[in-house]
Every structure is written in C-alpha cells, then in structure tokens.
Amino acid sequence: MPRLIYTLLIYLLLPVAPLRLLWRGMRQPEYRRHWRERFGFFKTPVTKPVIWMHCVSVGETRGAAPLIKRLQQRYPQYQILITHATPTGREAGEQLFGDSVLRCYLPYDTRGAVARFLGHFQPRLGMLMETELWFNLIAGCKTRDIPILLVNARLSAKSAQGYARLGRLAGNGLRQLTAIAAQTMQDAERLQSLVAAHGHSLPVEVTGNLKFDVTPPPEASAQGEALREHFGRTRPVFLAASTRDGEEAMILDAVAAAKLPQLLTVIVPRHPQRFDEVANLLTRRGIHFLRRSKLSQAVPANVEVVLGDSMGEMFAYYAACDAAFIGGSLQPLGGQNLIEASAMSKPVLVGPHTFNFAAATEMAIAAKAAWRVQDVADLARALQRLFGDPELRQSMSWKALEFSASAGGATQRIADLVSRYLPDR
C-alpha cells in the first residue's frame, strides 16, 4: 500500500515533468536533449551483458570512477552502463570514460518507465550510488531477480529523519536491496534503524568512501601548471571551489576584509547555469574579473577574480591554487567533497555546514589538513593566516596529501562485494 500511494503521487506529478525540463532548459539547453530517456524510451544499442551504475550528477560520477575502471578491467565481457539525472553528470561521464561506457538518463520512477528501462538494458547487476532510493526501480529489479546494490551509501542525520517520515515505504525499499555498502559505521547504523523501526534487520557492510580512491588524472598537473602561468607564479591564488547560491557574495566579502595585496581569487560555481549569475554579481560590485573561457594570456595585475566557467577542470584548478575553500558549506547545503583538493596536496577551508560529508571532513580536520570557518569574518581571518605564513601552508599541504592517501581501499572492498553476485565467469 505505501508503494502504491508513492506510485500514484509520481503519476500525478508526471504531467509537470515536461514543463520542468523546458523551464530548466531555458537556463541549461542540455535539459532539452535526450528527454525521451526520462520516460523510459531508449535507442542506445546493447551488444554485451550490462553492469549498470546510477550516478546522479558530477560528484557521484567522479567518485565512482575508480570502481568503474576496476570493473572494466575485471569484467571485459560486460558493458558498463552509467545512468544520470543531470546533464552535468552525463557530461562528466563522457569526459571520464568517452565511448568505453554506455550513458543515459535514469527514467522517472514509474512502473512503466522502469519496466522499459530494465527490459531494454537487461542489466545483470545494478548499483545505486550514495542515497539514491527509487522504490519502483528497486522493486522492479527484485521482481526480475537482478541483484541491486546500494554502494558508497551515506545517510546524514537530517536525511535519516526525512526517510523515517516515509515509514514502511523506506523500510521495505531498503529490505529489497541485495546488499548495502556504507561509507561509515554511522551511515550503517542510520540505515539499519530505518528497517529496525518496523521489526526487521538489515545487514550492512562498512566499506569506506570511494571518493578517497579518486586519483587525479595524469594531465591534471600539466593543466594546473599552465593555469598557474596565466594566474602568475608569484601572485597568491585562492580558489573557491563548487560554490553555491549566496556563497559567492560571502566569499567576496571575506576576501575584501582580509585585505591581502595582489590576491587572485578564482571562483568556480558548482552549477554551470550560474556562471552568468556570478558574472553579474562581480559586475555589480565593480570587481575586475576575467572568465576562464576567455583566458589565453597572463591575468593583468588589476584583475581581482577569475570566474571558472569551465567544466572538467577542477583538478587543474586545485593544482593551480595555493589554498582552497570547498563550497556548499557556508550556506546550510551540506558541503561538497574535499578529497579531490586534498589529493592535490592543497590546504582546505570549509564552512560550518558539512553534514553531507561529515566523516571525511572531520577526518581531514583531525589530520590538520583542513580548517573549519564559521562565517565571513572567520574566513577572512583564516585567509590572512594562511597567506601570511608560507610554512603553515606547506605543512597543511603535506598533511592533506597524507590524509587523502590514508583512507583508501573502498574500491577493492566494493569490487569484492560485486564479485559475490557477478562472478568473473
């Protein structure tokens, strides 16, 4: 009965979906492409048995990269299918894997669309990344005897409260999963509690965070060197990475309060549809800035900000900076992944709101690879301290690299879990 009600609600909302795609397509035209896939209609040819992984957007796609590459090596007789929910996730998959994987959008969670998706691709095994629970999709896999795993699973206290309000719908959905690989013991306990509330148990393995296994691409250092040449070798560079709505103004306030001579601030918004919005903010404030997409020579001394309006260059941005702030954390949005910055040996600053990456953030802070700031004034003080002390920056850089290398192994553990349901032969 709970899933029936859930399904009816989805069908009631379904007529709004095309309007939403059109509206989002006004800001990001890619939303108007491949729209039939969202309703379960696919033209992608399938020539081998399929291993399927759902990666919602950019972060999940990048985080899954080590596991996908490991599966490609172990199971060459299979095709890897990656499904996405956003155009940026799809673009990240294309940049990372080219034509070596299949890509499409995961359809809306109606029974008909799910049946068409599973019927077309006929996956031998499916994996959902992090906290993606689509109840008709899970039930469809269960009906067809397709092993379905929740991997790199994380569940913040806030998200656990939200799923708890769904009652038996969430509990039954979790119980229908074949296996769960959680990032931390806290994530495992929260997942188990959703099922225990209805008198059942749920075996969950703690395998660690896949994102710790992300290796910077070979070209990242060279790209970063080229960027740094543009920024200036002797000029201090502060990177504000994956910023979200409202944070750019706060960062500019902090930079102004820090009063650091010649500081170049590089702002890379999380979502490409906000590039023009941030450019307008900089214009309104009278700040001299250049867009990364227009950068072909050295940044003039009077330019205060470079707007990172490019995709697929985050590792290069990290390589080219002296210290990085990770966005989504000054506003109550849960933060973003700080592991990529640590893997590039950069001191990291985060705001007070990191509940989506709580364990990794606390580990980085404990390792003295990262600092937490509470507000704009605190960020300004942190910038003054970091850019006023080169030895401190170097110490944090070494500790960041040690931290990123110390917590790996999730790829191997999850690959071993997959092998229980998908033997090599």
Segment 77-96 mean pLDDT: 93
Contact 384, 361 (CB under 8 A): no
Instruction: With beta carbons less than 8 A apart as the criterion, state whether 360 and 211 touch.
Output: yes
Q: pLDDT at position 168, please?
A: 84
Say yes or no to pLDDT of 117 above 80.
yes
Q: What is the structure's pLDDT at 407?
A: 74
Percentage above 90 pLDDT, the chain: 71
Q: Quick check: 367 pLDDT over 60? A: yes
Lowest mean pLDDT among 99-108, 152-161, 219-228, 348-357: 152-161
Reply yes or no on whether the pLDDT at 303 is more than 90: yes
In eight-state DSSP terms, residue 107 is P
pLDDT over 80 at 333, yes or no:
yes
Integer Cα distance of 410 and 212 in angstroms: 8
Rounded to 10 degrees, what is the CA torsion of 81, 82, 88, 94?
-40
SS3 of residue 392 by DSSP? helix
Quick: pLDDT tens for 62-78.
889 999 999 999 999 99
pTM: 0.79
Q: What was the pLDDT predicted at 342?
A: 94
| pLDDT tens profile 266-286 | 999 998 889 999 999 999 999
Name the E strands within 116-222: 123-129, 148-153, 179-182, 205-206
pLDDT tier for residue 167 given thresholds of 50, 70 and 90: confident
What span, in angstroms and rounded, lies between the C-alpha atoms of 323 and 265?
A: 10
For the stretch 224-229, contacts whose Cβ atoms lie closer than 8 Å and that sit 24 or more positions apart, written own/partner, are: 224/315, 224/316, 224/317, 224/318, 224/319, 224/320, 224/344, 225/319, 225/320, 226/316, 227/313, 227/316, 227/317, 227/319, 227/320, 228/319, 228/320, 229/298
Residue 423 has pLDDT above 70, yes or no: no
pLDDT higher than 60, residue 425 = no
Q: Tell me the helices (H) and strands (E) count for the chain, helix number first.
A: 18, 14
Instruction: Judge whether residue 179 has pLDDT over 80.
Output: yes
Containing 267, the helix (H) or strand (E) segment is: strand 264-269
* CB contact at 8 A, 168 and 198: yes
Distance CA(147)–CA(143), nearest Å, equals: 10
Q: What is the mean pLDDT of residues 285-310?
A: 95
Who has greater pLDDT, 423 or 141?
A: 141
Largest CA distance in the chain: 65
Distance CA 407, CA 425 (A): 31
The CA distance from 376 to 358, in Å, is 21
What pLDDT was estimated at residue 190?
Answer: 92
Could you confirm whether 60 is annotated as catalytic? yes
Residue 124: band (very low, low, confident or very high) from pLDDT cuts 50, 70, 90: very high
How confident is the model at residue 337, as a pLDDT?
87
- Average of per-residue pLDDT across 26-34: 85
Determine which one of 37, 60, 248, 340 is catalytic.
60
**Per-residue tokens: 160:** 């656990």
Distances (CA, A) of 308 to 153, 304, 339: 30, 13, 20
59/141: higher pLDDT: 141
DSSP 154: -
pLDDT of 102 above 60: yes
